[in-house]
Amino acid sequence: MFDLLALAYPWTLVLHIVSVISWMAGIFYLPRLFVYHAEQVTDPKTDEMFQTMERRLLRGIMNPAMIATWVFGIMLLLTPGIVVWSDVWPWTKGASVIAMTVFHQWLAKRRKDFAAGQNTRTGRTYRMMNEVPTLLMVVIVASVVVKF
């Protein structure tokens, strides 16, 4: 199996990066939608439109992209010679990727709040939370590229 993973390595990396791009697109856009949703005047039609956009973004793009990122990422981890566990970067990357996944779950819970008409957070909170994935992405990309 490890021989097969070594053969497939460049394509696994391609699929990993494509999945990452799709996941990150959603993870940056959904909190922006929450900002506008939280600040909208109470018009039921607009509320319904935001709910549809948020549900489709999360279920149609972000959830499958996150799963694909994990699957191809784990395949890369299992590829011989790719990860040296005594280096620091696999651990900084791993911790940041787990934090990114927790952030994704937090967004999914907030989407449910909006769907139930029970959002309690302000647009400002969502604007601030939008910085979390940016910081995590910087640490992740630095980890895999610099390989400290």
Q: Is residue 78 classed as helix, strand or coil in its secondary structure?
A: helix
Binding to ligand HEM by residue 102, rule CB under 6 A? no
The span of 13-21, 33-41, 49-57, 114-122 binding ligand HEM (CB under 6 A) equals: 13-21
Report which residue's Cβ sits closest to ligand HEM.
Answer: 73
Query: What is the nearest approach in angstroms of ligand HEM to the Cβ of residue 31?
Result: 16
Distance (Å, rounded) from C-alpha 124 to C-alpha 140? 26
The span of 12-20, 33-41, 56-64, 108-116 binding ligand HEM (CB under 6 A) equals: 12-20
SS3 breakdown of the chain: % helix, strand, coil, rounded to 5? 85, 0, 15
For residue 112, say whether it is annotated as part of any ligand binding site.
Answer: no
Site for ligand HEM in 56-95 (CB under 6 A): 69-70, 73-74, 76-77, 82-83
The span of 16-24, 54-62, 107-115, 117-125 binding ligand HEM (CB under 6 A) equals: 16-24
Distance (Å, rounded) from C-alpha 7 to C-alpha 3? 6
Residue 61 per-residue DSSP state = I
The separation between the first and the last C-alpha atoms of the chain, rounded to the nearest angstrom, is 29
Provide DSSP, 76-116: HHHSTTT--TTSSHHHHHHHHHHHHHHHHHHHHHHHHHHHT
Binding to ligand HEM by residue 141, rule CB under 6 A? yes
Give the residues lining the site for ligand HEM (CB under 6 A): 13, 16-17, 20, 24, 69-70, 73-74, 76-77, 82-83, 97, 100, 137, 140-141, 144-145
